[in-house]
Structure 1
Amino acid sequence: MKVYLSVDMEGVTGLVDAEDVQPRGRDYERGRVLMTEDANAAVRGAYDAGATAVLVNDAHGPMRNLLPDLLDPRATLIKGRPKPMGMIEGLTREYDAALCIGYHARAGVLGVLSHSFMGHEIEDIWLDDQVTGEIGLFHATAHAYGVPVALLTGDDTACAEMTAWDPSVATVPVKYAKDRFAAQLVPVPEAQAAIRTTTHQALANLPALTADRARTRRLAVRWQNASVTAHLTAIPGVLRQDDRTVTVEADMPHLYRLFNLFLRVATAVTTNPPYC
């Protein structure tokens, strides 16, 4: 059994603030350790369930947060950026399951460090007219490959968002949102034990999926900055819906890769830091 992990940081055990998850933040280095240990808990759970290979993708910000020397040596790590598929780099139909570790809720929802990919630059994302964020796009792309999403860890708001997308996905709430930068924390040993145990259980009960990579989906993205929209419409197939919204149609893996191109264009056009 081959297992894929996408590891974000905002939903990691114990982390609640930009200072915990951004390079040069006063608690970022401690946050990297906690992120790596949450990933390790999932890796150990995967091997407990009989995994033969585990690939871990560092999916947060600069994508060089996980500490290779502290990561379970049985796992292979993808680190750094740019990566054509960003948060799902390395995921293919060869994998038997995908796990979302340390994920957070979408923009506009009251969850810990909630946003969609770019802090406040993205106001909303819709997939086939359903509002979504990083969780929904990950789930849709994995399913297009025929890979079931087995587990998500994060705050209770992120867990609820995944359950709304697919109630069959196991979730582990490692904290309970009090506001966007405050949470009631599950004790670290308890949270990481739950990640390991739930990973094991989830991988023992995987649903059978059929890949549907050719299905055409419609993606719409509303930006804060109209300049981003103006630049994105230079990409063939990208249409301007209004001053701040673009739409595009394609199969899901193509949409995800194209969306990562959107992010690079938007980063070049804007200079605003996230979480403003």
Structure 2
Amino acid sequence: MNVLIAVDMEGISGITGWNQVLPEKDEYARGRRWMTADVNAAVAGALQAGAERITVTDGHWDGSNILIEELAPEASLVNGSPSPLSMVQGVQNGVDAAVFIGYHARAGTQNAILDHTWSSLRIHNFWLNGSLAGEIAMNAAVCGSFNVPVVAISGDQNACAEAAALIPQIRTAQVKTANGRMNAECLSLERAHDLITSTVREAVKNFRQVKPYVLTGPISFAIEFYRSDMADYASLLPGSKRTSGRIVEYNAPDILEAAQAFRAMVGMVKV
């Protein structure tokens, strides 16, 4: 069995603020250790379920956050940026099931730790096929294009709820309860790791019960940026359509082109 563990940082156990997830901040070193420990808990669960190959993809910031010297030896690590499939790089390599660790809710979600969609400094709202969406939906859809189900997720209560609304069969490990954007009641790391391990174990063991999240083409998306000059830059992408002062739309034949166009558009924008 081949398992992909796709990892973000804002939903990691114990994380509640930007100072723990941004490289220039003083608490980032602690955040990296917590992130690596959550990953190892997920690796343990996948191994207990019979996984023979485990790929861990570091999807936060520039993809160089997980401490490889502390990573479980049974896993390989995809790190660095950019990569063709970004946060779920590796899903194209015969993966049977994907697990999302440390994920966060989409931009604008109430009581969600560090809620944002891709860029907290650029994107105000994001719609995928007309529905408000975040990184969970985008990455799950990319996995779905390879017929890979997302079987488990860890994060706060609203990240878990967002995933469950898309994938009813998904198993969730709620490691904290957010009271706002930067305050949460967090499980102890020991309890959080036990929860992640047991959740991933059961999810991977029963991965055939989960249907891939598939969005058939054509695919449309729209980004509402924070400022109109950001939309000025984004609308330079060939194929894009400016629909208002801050909103740029794009139509693609499939989710893979849509995901690449989305990344290119956001990357063109100056903060």
By the TM > 0.5 criterion, same fold? yes
Q: Is the 8 A contact 1:145 1:211 kept in 2?
A: no
Structure 1's unaligned 5+ residue stretches are: 271-276
* Partner in structure 1 of residue 255 of structure 2: 252
Paired with 1:32 and 1:118, the residues of 2 have a C-alpha distance of 19
SS of 1:33 mapped into structure 2 = helix
What is the Cα deviation at residue 233 of structure 1?
2.2
1:83–1:54: structure 2 CA closer, same or farther, 3 Å change rule? same
Letter of the 2:264 counterpart: L
Paired with 2:214 and 2:103, the residues of 1 have a C-alpha distance of 25
What is the Cα deviation at residue 164 of structure 1?
1.3
Number of corresponding residues: 268
* Partner in structure 2 of residue 30 of structure 1: 30
1:107–1:214: structure 2 CA closer, same or farther, 3 Å change rule? closer
Pick from 259, 262, 266 the counterpart of residue 263 of structure 1. 266
Paired with 1:238 and 1:149, the residues of 2 have a C-alpha distance of 30
What is the Cα deviation at residue 224 of structure 1?
0.8
1:211–1:136: structure 2 CA closer, same or farther, 3 Å change rule? closer
Paired with 1:148 and 1:240, the residues of 2 have a C-alpha distance of 34
Letter of the 1:35 counterpart: M
* Partner in structure 1 of residue 172 of structure 2: 171
* Partner in structure 2 of residue 4 of structure 1: 4
1:14 pairs with 2:14: yes
What is the Cα deviation at residue 214 of structure 1?
6.0
* Partner in structure 2 of residue 234 of structure 1: 236
SS of 2:178 mapped into structure 1 = strand
Paired with 2:127 and 2:215, the residues of 1 have a C-alpha distance of 19
Q: Is the 8 A contact 1:93 1:145 kept in 2?
A: no
Paired with 2:176 and 2:89, the residues of 1 have a C-alpha distance of 27
What is the Cα deviation at residue 219 of structure 1?
0.9
SS of 2:223 mapped into structure 1 = strand
What is the Cα deviation at residue 211 of structure 1?
9.3
SS of 2:25 mapped into structure 1 = coil
What is the Cα deviation at residue 260 of structure 1?
1.4
TM-score (norm 2): 0.94
Deviations 1:239-268 (A, max 9, x none): 1111111111220111112211122112xx
Paired with 1:40 and 1:188, the residues of 2 have a C-alpha distance of 12
Letter of the 2:255 counterpart: M
Moved more, 203-212 or 86-95: 203-212
Q: Is the 8 A contact 1:11 1:153 kept in 2?
A: yes
Structure 2's unaligned 5+ residue stretches are: none
Moved more, 155-164 or 228-237: 228-237
1:210–1:20: structure 2 CA closer, same or farther, 3 Å change rule? closer
* Partner in structure 1 of residue 114 of structure 2: 113
Letter of the 1:24 counterpart: E
SS of 1:180 mapped into structure 2 = coil
TM-score (norm 1): 0.93
Paired with 2:213 and 2:13, the residues of 1 have a C-alpha distance of 33
Q: Is the 8 A contact 2:12 2:38 kept in 1?
A: yes
Equivalences for residues 78-227 of structure 1 within 5 A: 78-92=78-92, 94-110=94-110, 111-206=112-207, 207=209, 209=211, 215-227=217-229
Letter of the 2:102 counterpart: G
Letter of the 2:201 counterpart: H
* Partner in structure 2 of residue 273 of structure 1: none
Paired with 2:108 and 2:215, the residues of 1 have a C-alpha distance of 29
SS of 1:147 mapped into structure 2 = coil
What is the Cα deviation at residue 225 of structure 1?
1.9
1:196–1:210: structure 2 CA closer, same or farther, 3 Å change rule? closer
1:193–1:35: structure 2 CA closer, same or farther, 3 Å change rule? same
1:214–1:116: structure 2 CA closer, same or farther, 3 Å change rule? closer
Paired with 2:142 and 2:41, the residues of 1 have a C-alpha distance of 24
RMSD value, Cα: 1.6
